[in-house]
Structure 1
Amino acid sequence: MEGSNETCVYKNKDAPVEARVKDLLSRMTLPEKIGQMTQIERVVTTPPVITDNFIGSVLNGGGSWPFEDAKTSDWADMIDGYQNAALASRLGIPIIYGIDAVHGNNNVYGATIFPHNIGLGATRDADLIRRVGAATALEVRACGAHWAFAPCVAALRDPRWGRSYESYSEDPDIICELSSLVSGLQGEPPKEHPNGYPFLAGRNNVVACAKHFVGDGGTDKGINEGNTIVSYEELEKIHLAPYLNCLAQGVSTVMASYSSWNGSKLHSDYFLLTELLKQKLGFKGFVISDWEALERLSEPFGSNYRNCVKISVNAGVDMVMVPFKYEQFIKDLTDLVESGEVTMSRIDDAVERILRVKFVAGLFEHPLTDRSLLGTVGCKEHRELARESVRKSLVLLKNGTNSEKPFLPLDRNVKRILVTGTHADDLGYQCGGWTKAWFGLSGRITIGN
Structure 2
Amino acid sequence: MPSPHRHSKRRRTHRRTALLTTSLIAASLLPGQAAFAADPQTVSVTAAQTFVQAEEGKTSVVTLVASTTDGKPLAANATLAYRTATGTATPGTDYTPVTGTVTFAKGSASGARKTISIPLRRDRTAETAETIPVTLTPSTSGVTAGPGPTVVINAHGLPYLDSRLSTKKRVADLLQRMSLDDKIGQMTQAERAAVTDDPAKVAVWRLGSVLSGGGSVPTPNTPAAWVNMVNTFQQAALSTPLQIPIIYGVDAVHGHGNVHGATIFPQNIGLGATRNPKLVEKVYHATAAEVRATGVPWDFAPCVCVTRDERWGRSYEAFGEDPKLVTQMTTAVTGLQGRKPSQLNDPDRVLATIKHYAGDGDTRYGTGDSGYPIDQGVTITSRQDFARTNLPPYAAGIRVGAGSVMPSFSSVDYTDDGVGNPVKMHAHKELLTGTLKGKLGFDGFVITDWNGIHQIPDPTATADTPKPTATQVRTAVNAGIDMFMEPNTAQQFENLLKAEVTAGRVSTARINDAVSRILTSKFQLGLFDKPIASTDRIDVVGSSQHRTLARTAVAESQVLLKNAGNLLPLRKNAKVYVAGRNADNIGNQAGGWTLDWQGRSGDTIPGTTILEGIRQVAPNAKVTYSADASAPISDADVGVVVVGETPYAEGYGDVGGPAWPWGTDAQKEAKSLALQPADKAAIDKVCDAVAKCVVLVVSGRPQIITDQLGKIDALVASWLPGSEGAGVADVLFGKKPFTGRLPVTWPASAEQVPINIGDANYRPLYPYGWGLRTNPAHSGRR
Task: Return the TM-score normalized by structure 2.
Answer: 0.54
The whole-number CA distance in structure 1 between the counterparts of 2:159 and 2:601 is 52
Amino acid at match of 2:491: E
The whole-number CA distance in structure 2 between the counterparts of 1:14 and 1:204 is 23
Question: Is the CA contact (8 Å cut-off) linking 1:154 and 1:167 kept in structure 2?
Answer: yes
User: For 1:205-216, what aligned pairs fall within 5 Å after superposition?
Assistant: 205-216=349-360
What displacement does 1:49 show? 0.4
Further displaced range: 125-134 or 217-226 = 217-226
Amino acid at match of 1:415: K
2:423 to 264, 267, 286: 264
Residue number in structure 1 paired with 2:66: none
Change (3 A) 1:87 1:6: closer
Change (3 A) 1:5 1:13: farther
Further displaced range: 295-304 or 120-129 = 295-304
The whole-number CA distance in structure 2 between the counterparts of 1:112 and 1:370 is 20
Amino acid at match of 2:162: N
Question: Is the CA contact (8 Å cut-off) linking 1:203 and 1:362 kept in structure 2?
Answer: no
Amino acid at match of 1:158: D
Question: Is the CA contact (8 Å cut-off) linking 1:58 and 1:98 kept in structure 2?
Answer: yes
- Give the number of the structure whose residues are more often strand, by fraction: 2
Confirm whether residue 444 of structure 1 aligns to residue 444 of structure 2.
Answer: no
The whole-number CA distance in structure 2 between the counterparts of 1:365 and 1:338 is 33
The whole-number CA distance in structure 2 between the counterparts of 1:127 and 1:42 is 34
1:77 to 204, 228, 231: 228
Q: Secondary structure at the match of 2:334?
A: helix
What displacement does 1:109 show? 0.4
Question: Is the CA contact (8 Å cut-off) linking 2:285 and 2:349 kept in structure 1?
Answer: yes
The whole-number CA distance in structure 2 between the counterparts of 1:5 and 1:52 is 18
User: For 1:19-418, what aligned pairs fall within 5 Å after superposition?
Assistant: 19-45=169-195, 46-67=198-219, 70-189=221-340, 200-221=344-365, 223-262=374-413, 263-298=422-457, 302-303=461-462, 305-400=469-564, 405-411=565-571, 414-418=574-578
What displacement does 1:199 show? 6.8
The whole-number CA distance in structure 1 between the counterparts of 2:452 and 2:484 is 8
The whole-number CA distance in structure 2 between the counterparts of 1:161 and 1:9 is 50
2:162 to 1, 8, 12: 12
What displacement does 1:425 show? 1.2
Amino acid at match of 1:21: V
What displacement does 1:414 show? 3.0
Change (3 A) 1:337 1:15: same
The whole-number CA distance in structure 1 between the counterparts of 2:387 and 2:500 is 33
Further displaced range: 365-374 or 163-172 = 365-374
The whole-number CA distance in structure 1 between the counterparts of 2:441 and 2:345 is 20
Amino acid at match of 1:53: W
Amino acid at match of 1:116: Q
Change (3 A) 1:111 1:411: closer
| Higher RCO structure, 1 or 2 (CA under 8 Å, sep 6+) | 1
Change (3 A) 1:121 1:301: farther
Unaligned ranges ≥5, structure 2 = 1-126, 130-153, 366-372, 414-421, 609-782
Query: When the two structures are aligned, how many residues end up with a matched partner?
Result: 436
Q: Deviations over 1:420-446 (max 9, x none)?
A: 12x221111111001011111112222
The whole-number CA distance in structure 2 between the counterparts of 1:134 and 1:398 is 33
The whole-number CA distance in structure 1 between the counterparts of 2:262 and 2:240 is 33
Q: Secondary structure at the match of 1:44?
A: helix
Percent identity over paired residues: 45
The whole-number CA distance in structure 2 between the counterparts of 1:365 and 1:204 is 16
The whole-number CA distance in structure 1 between the counterparts of 2:389 and 2:181 is 40
The whole-number CA distance in structure 2 between the counterparts of 1:298 and 1:251 is 29
What displacement does 1:410 show? 2.4
The whole-number CA distance in structure 1 between the counterparts of 2:425 and 2:460 is 13
Unaligned ranges ≥5, structure 1 = 191-197
The whole-number CA distance in structure 2 between the counterparts of 1:388 and 1:412 is 19
Question: Is the CA contact (8 Å cut-off) linking 1:199 and 1:252 kept in structure 2?
Answer: no
Q: Deviations over 1:207-262 (max 9, x none)?
A: 00000000111001281000011112111111100011111111100001000110
Q: Secondary structure at the match of 2:305?
A: coil
Q: Secondary structure at the match of 2:345?
A: coil
Amino acid at match of 1:43: A
The whole-number CA distance in structure 1 between the counterparts of 2:479 and 2:520 is 20
Q: Secondary structure at the match of 1:397?
A: strand
Question: Is the CA contact (8 Å cut-off) linking 2:222 and 2:260 kept in structure 1?
Answer: yes
Residue number in structure 2 paired with 1:193: none
Amino acid at match of 1:418: V
Aligned Cα root-mean-square deviation (Å): 1.7
The whole-number CA distance in structure 2 between the counterparts of 1:212 and 1:348 is 25
| Larger Cα-atom Rg | 2
Q: Deviations over 1:125-161 (max 9, x none)?
A: 1111111111111110111111000000000111111
Question: Is the CA contact (8 Å cut-off) linking 1:98 and 1:145 kept in structure 2?
Answer: yes
Question: Is the CA contact (8 Å cut-off) linking 2:293 and 2:347 kept in structure 1?
Answer: no
The whole-number CA distance in structure 2 between the counterparts of 1:406 and 1:168 is 29
Change (3 A) 1:448 1:352: same
Amino acid at match of 1:390: V
Amino acid at match of 1:284: D
The whole-number CA distance in structure 2 between the counterparts of 1:201 and 1:251 is 15
The whole-number CA distance in structure 1 between the counterparts of 2:460 and 2:357 is 20
Q: Secondary structure at the match of 2:596?
A: coil
What displacement does 1:407 show? 3.2
Further displaced range: 300-309 or 31-40 = 300-309
Change (3 A) 1:412 1:355: closer
